[in-house]
Amino acid sequence: MAKVSPYHTNSLEEPPEHREVYHDHDDCFEGKKIQKKHWESGNGGKPRCKQCIKLG
Ligand SMILES: [Zn+2]
């Protein structure tokens, strides 16, 4: 359980809901649904994931 640099995806191979937010926790179950090969660094100008906000 750790905070990581913000990551997001813009991959069209991911479902739209995966492209709507960015994550900054490596144990976020929403973030884990994104395939690692589709990770892009930064927040991508997207809002923060609700699960990541809960994780703190
Ligand atoms: Zn998240």
Q: Would you give per-residue pLDDT tens digits along the chain (56 residues)?
A: 789 999 999 999 999 999 999 999 999 999 999 999 999 999 999 999 999 999 98
Distance 54 CA to ligand 1 centre (A): 9
Distance 51 CA to ligand 1 centre (A): 5
Distance 5 CA to ligand 1 centre (A): 12
Is the CB of residue 6 less than 8 Å from the CB of residue 42? yes
Distance 45 CA to ligand 1 centre (A): 15
How much is the pLDDT for 37? 97
Half-sphere exposure of 36 (CA within 13 A, CB side): 2
This prediction's pTM: 0.92
Positive or negative torsion for Cα 45, 51, 52, 56: positive
Distance 25 CA to ligand 1 centre (A): 6
Number of structural domains the chain divides into: 1
* Domain hosting residue 21, numbered range: 3-55
